[in-house]
A and B are shown apart, each in its own frame.
Chain A
Amino acid sequence: MKIMKRTVLLLYGGVIAAPLYIVFISMFKSSQSFFASPLGWPKPFTLNNPITLFREQPMLQYFLNSVEVTFSTVLLELLLSTLIAFAIYCFGGKISAIVFALFTAGLIVPSQVNMLPIYSLSHKLGWTDHHYGLMLVSVALLMPVSVFMIAGFMKLLSHEIMEAASIDGAGEWQLYARFALPLSAPSIAAAATFLFVLVWNDLLIPMLMLNGKSKLTLPLAMLQFRGEFVTNYPMLLTGVVVTAIPMTVMFLFLQRYFVAGMMAGSLKG
C-alpha cells in the first residue's frame, strides 16, 4: 500500500514538475543545443536568451506595464470594495440585502459575455490603449467577486465592539479605518492575492483594450512573441519564465494567503 501510494505521488509529481523543469532549463540553452536535444541538460549553459529578450524586445516595458496595471487595479478594487462591504455591514436590513444582491448578481455574468459591449463602450469613451481605461474596466468586472468575498469576511466582525467605539465618539470613517480594516486584514490579504493572480494573468480584457505595442501587458506580449518566434522555442519559453517569476516568488512567500484566497474564490463559484 505504501509503495503504491509513493508510486502514484511520484508519477503525479513528475507530470506536474517535468514540463516546468523542461521550460526552466530551456531558458539556458542556445538555439542549436535546444534543437539538437530539446529535453537534454543545457550544454553549453548560456544566459543569452534572457539577455537577448530584454535587449531586443521591450520586455522591461511589458513587465512594468503589468506591474502598473496590476497594482493600480488591485488597490482601487480593494479600496472600493472594502468601502462597499463596510457600508453593507453598517446599513443592515433591506438596503444591505438589495445592495449585496445587486453586486453578487454580476457573479453569473462572465467577462466573455460582456466582451463586445465593453469593447464598444471603451471605444466610445476613448479608453482604448490607455492603462487607466483597462484599470477601470477590470475594477468594474472584478467587483462582484471582490465585494462578495470581502462582505463575507466583514459579516463576521462583532457588532458590539463597533457600537462601543461608536458611543465613544468614533465616526464612520474611523470605524472603517481603525476597526473594520485592521480586524479583517488577513482575509483582505487573501482576497488581495486572489485578485493579484487574476489581474496579472488576465488575457481577455487587456486583449480587448490594448493594441499599441508599448502598452501591452505580459500575457499579451507572450502571445505576440509566439507569432514572432515561431521557430524559437527557447526565447518563447524564456518569456514564460520571466512572466511567471513574480507570481512564483509571491507564492513561495505568501502561500497561506494564496491558498486561502483561491479557496474563497472557488467557494464563490
Chain B
Amino acid sequence: MRNRKLLWLFLLPGLLLYLAIFMYPTVTGLFYSFTNWDGVSPSYHLVGLDNYKDTLTSIVFRKALFNNVKFMIAVVLAQTAVSLGLALLLVKNHRIHVVLRALFFFPAVLSSVSVGLIWSFVYDPSLGLINAALDRLGADAWMQNWTGSTHIALYAIAFVQVWAHAGQMMIVFIAGLQTIPEELNEAARIDGAGRWQIFRRITWPLLAPSATIVVAYTTIQSFKAFDLIFTMTDGGPNYATEILTTYIYHTAFASYAFGPASAGSVIFLIVLSVLTALQFRLLRGNRIAYS
C-alpha cells in the first residue's frame, strides 16, 4: 500500500484505547499486588511478596482454588459428554433436528444473571420445580436445599453451567460431524461394521479436532466462571462455592484489601495462562487428515 501514514491513523484510535484501558491496568494490577493498598486511600507501601505469602497460605484461597478445579472437572466431563451425545442425535439437517438444535442452543443467549435467577427459583427448596417433581414422584427423600448444602451447591451450579452452554458446544460437534464424508460410514457399514465400531473407528478419531476445541473452550470458560456463582450463591454456603474470581471480588470490595486481591488476580492469571498454553499445545498436536 502506498499510504502508510493513513494506515497508522486507522490503527491508532483503537490501539491507544486498548493500551490505556486494557494493557496499562494489567500492568498496574501487577504493581498493586506488591503493595498494601486498600483501594481508596491516597498512600500505600510496598510490601514485597507478603501478599503472595498470605494469599497462598489463606485457607479460603486454597478452598477457592480447589473449588475451581472441582467445578472445572465436573463441567468439562458433563458438558463434553452431553454436547457430543446431542450432536450425534441431531446431526442430520431434518427440520425437527434444526428446531431442536435452536432450542438447545437458546440458553446460551440468556445472561448468566437471568440463568442464575431462573435456576435459583428452580432449585428453591419449597417452591422450586425439582423438589416438587421429586415430591410428586414419591422420591421425597431426595428433596434438597440444592444451593444451600455445602456438599451439593457447587455441583448444582455446575449443572446449570452445562444447561446453559452444552447446546453451544453441540454446534461445534455438529460442525465437525458434518465434515465426515458419508461414504466413509457407508463403506464401513458394507464391510459389516456395527454402530459402535463405526463410532469407535471412524467418527471419534475424525471428531478429535472438534473434541479438542470443546474441551479446551469449556476448560477455560468454567475456570473463569463468575456471574453464575455470584448470582446464585455468592460463594456460600460456608465458602462451598467460593472460586478464585469471587474470592478476588470479595477480598477487594468486601474487605478493601486491594493488595492481596491483586496478588490473587496475578496467581489466577498465571494458572489460567498455563491452562491456555496447554490448550494451544493440544489444539496444535491434534490435526487429523483423511482423504
Contact = CB atoms under 8 A, between A and B. Distances in A.
Contact of B17 (A87, A139, A267): A139
Contacts of B122: 19, 22
B50 interface: no
Contact of B175 (A121, A251, A263): A263
B62 interface: no
A74 to B, nearest CB: 14
A140 B20 contact: yes
A91 interface: yes
B92 to A, nearest CB: 11
B52 interface: no
Interface stretch (A42-50, A55-63, A165-173): A165-173
A13 B265 CA distance: 39
B17 A143 contact: yes
Nearest to B276: A108
Residue of B1, B20, B224, B262 with most chain A CB atoms under a 10 A cut-off: B1
A143 B14 contact: yes
Interface string B118-129: 110110100111
Contacts of B163: 15-16, 19
A106 B23 contact: yes
B155 interface: no
Contacts of A103: 18
B122 to A, nearest CB: 5
Interface in A1-35: 5, 8-9, 12-13, 15-20, 22-23, 26, 35
B162 to A, nearest CB: 10
Contact of A200 (B13, B25, B111, B261): B111
Interface residues of A, number: 85
B25 A118 contact: yes
A67 interface: no
What interface size band does chain B fall in? 35 or more
A233 interface: yes
Contact of B1 (A90, A140, A263): A90
A247 interface: yes
A266 B4 CA distance: 34
B220 interface: yes
B9 to A, nearest CB: 9
Contacts of A87: 7-8, 10-11
B272 interface: yes
Given A80-B14, A201-B112, A262-B171, A120 B39 contact: yes
Contact of B129 (A18, A144, A239): A18
Residue of B22, B102, B230, B276 with most chain A CB atoms under a 10 A cut-off: B22
Contacts of A114: 22, 25-26, 29, 265
Majority secondary structure, A binding face? helix
A192 interface: no
A86 interface: yes
Nearest to A106: B22
B231 interface: yes
Contact of B113 (A18, A201, A247, A251): A201
Contact of B118 (A17, A118, A141, A237): A237
Interface string A239-269: 1100110011001000100110011001101
A49 B94 CA distance: 39
Contacts of A143: 14, 17-18, 22
Nearest to B88: A5
Given A172-B1, A204-B227, A255-B102, A116 B11 contact: no
A110 interface: yes
Residue of B18, B119, B230 with most chain A CB atoms under a 10 A cut-off: B18
Contacts of A219: 111, 113-114
B213 interface: yes
A13 B100 contact: yes
B109 interface: yes
Nearest to A118: B25
B103 to A, nearest CB: 6
Interface in B166-188: 167-169, 171-172, 175
Contacts of B117: 222, 226, 236-237, 239-240
Given A222-B113, A226-B117, A173 B108 contact: no
A117 B26 contact: yes
Contacts of A197: 109
Contact of A121 (B14, B28, B231): B28
Contacts of B114: 201, 219, 222, 240, 243-244
A13 to B, nearest CB: 7
The 9 residue pairs across chains A and B that have the minimum distance between CB atoms: A201-B111, A117-B25, A140-B21, A80-B14, A219-B113, A117-B29, A87-B10, A83-B10, A112-B245
Given A12-B86, A108-B276, A113-B272, 4 more contacts: A118-B21, A143-B18, A244-B111, A266-B217
7 contacts: A16-B167, A87-B8, A109-B269, A113-B26, A115-B249, A222-B117, A259-B171
